[in-house]
Amino acid sequence: MKLSIIAVSLICSSLLVAQTEKPYVSEVWVADNGDGSYKNPIIYSDYSDPDVVRVGDDYYMTASSFNATPGLPILHSKDMVNWKLINHALPLQVPLETFNIPQHGNGVWAPAIRYHKGEIYIYWGDPDFGIYMVKTKDPYGVWDEPVLVMEGKGLIDPCPLFDDNGDAYLVHAYAGSRAGVKSLLSVNKINPEGTKVLDPGIHVFDGHENHPTVEGSKFYKRNGYYYIFAPAGGVTTGWQLVLRSKNIYGPYEEKVVLEQGKTKINGPHQGAWVDTLDGESWFYHFQDVGPIGRIVHLQPMIWENDWPVMGKDLDGNGIGEPVMSHKKPNVGEIYPIETPVETDDFTGFNIGLQWQWNANNNVVWHAKLPGNDYLRLFSIKVPENEPNLWMVPNLLLQKFPAPNFTAETKITLQPEEAESGKTAGLIIMGMDYATLSISHDEKGFFIKQTEAIDAIKGTEEKVNDQNRIKSNSAYFKVEVSGPHSICQFYYSENGKKFRKIGKPFKAREGKWIGAKIGLFSVSTQEAKRGGYADIDYFNILK
């Protein structure tokens, strides 16, 4: 019993510190203008398919995480504009044996987050296994184990509705790549606990004629109407559709409520209707911007004749268009500016929440010992017959934080007994990728800049440039700039004078995700076992 009390006390203490520490403010993107207004996007990072729920005066966001672990990021806000990454609801992807190997583009698709009877629920569709759910009473703590609510291929974009009469339902869409059909929305009845589907379901909307690729469904009830918010028309070019009916199975009326129009915000759709305590309505959605991924916008929203009106109707056609800036939501107080963390000085008990692995984490990939102000990445052998790093699980990555930024790190390579074959470095990861790394051979240590174009297709990694250095330690830098995310690498032996190396690299998105930046430490199959790299820090700067 004493041990349990101590453990609980430690957890509570750590959570208290986490919630009272000084807010992190990014150097490269801040949405809060500091004058009572905000600018879009509110998060300039790949929080794809965002959904948000209010619990009292707290707001919680989650997003798709696909193959990356930990998955299902949990962000918290008090004012709907300033967000902090506080947790992940899914430490490991299930089934474990499947996701121990990189599964690019698979895994957690388009989640829905809801609050019901004192617990926060998240539902998501895995296109290969079915619809899962996790829940918790404490979003900062450990979430329950995933429950497979509905088994099947191609079942995606689920959202529950806990009706006021005690009944519960689930709306979902279909992935054509697995189900053989798409552009359909179906409703199933589920048990009141939300853990099991009770019937085969009924199709309630067919978008083939007017709303192709209708998906991303979200369920709501207001003024006696059942609402399904659903994007259509495709990720980069589509619009936000809203359906309503007095009967949960329809027939549903339809209305397009948000479109690009004459704005620069392509494909504004798929997100969350959220209200404040005072009854203001707001809508979160994403915008696909290529290498950076799907970034998060916030639109003002009102109701007219029981239909939502989003953004501003700039061209007078009755359909809202996204705004680039607006007065902040009225939440009754002014809260400090805060952004999701990017920089990591590795002084904490563990690595920062911004980091995700390329597959389920193995405990032997890294060490972060209490009191040590560095991260140790062990030299893990690349899987046999892999021509590049695409299918390497132990890549430690985070999202691009803005269209323009610089990343800096210091890496020290300890090959131990190996004469060659150990490499560690900085990586820009996507379907194409580029690296800047430190490696070694019988003559000593050297820096190399590499790239793998069409890495997803198995092309070999190519060395663009290579230089000898005097020690086993080096400073690395990459500058990312412009609408096409052009990346230029630099290195230094003393941390003061940096030298350009290699050639500019155009970042490319991953499978359904934006490009990522991060760290790796690998070994060839032939090299002697052992070896590691120590990372002093990872800084995101202007």
Q: Are 346 and 377 in contact (CB under 8 A)?
A: no
- Cα dihedral 310→314→317→318 (10° resolution): 30
- Pair 211, 232: CB distance under 8 Å: yes
Catalytic annotation on 442?
no
Catalytic pick among 51, 126, 157, 215: 215
Closest CA to 81 of 401, 400, 335: 335
Closest-CA residue to 491 (of 504, 481, 478): 478
Q: At residue 32, what are phi and psi to the nearest 5 degrees?
A: -75, 120
Question: Are residues 106 and 67 in contact, defined by beta-carbon separation less than 8 angstroms?
Answer: yes
Do 184 and 214 touch, CB atoms closer than 8 A?
yes
Distance CA 315, CA 53 (A): 31
Q: What distance in Å separates the CA atoms of residue 247 and residue 427, rounded to the nearest whole number?
A: 52
Q: Which two tokens stand for residue 447?
A: 């820096």
- Between CA 248 and CA 143 the distance in angstroms is 30
Torsions phi, psi of 9, nearest 5?
A: -60, -45
Tokens of 170: 């689930």
CA dihedral 25, 407, 379, 86 (to 10 degrees): 20
DSSP string, 438-457: EEEETTEEEEEEEEETTGGG
Contacts 24+ apart (CB under 8 A), 186-191: 187/248, 187/249, 188/150, 190/149, 190/160
Residue 454 falls in the annotated catalytic set = no
Query: What are the backbone dihedrals phi and psi of residue 15, each rounded to the nearest 5 degrees, phi first?
Result: -70, -40
One of 32, 49, 259, 509 is an active-site residue; which one? 49
Pairing state of beta strands 71-77 and 84-90?
A: antiparallel
In eight-state DSSP terms, residue 187 is E
Active site residues: 49, 215
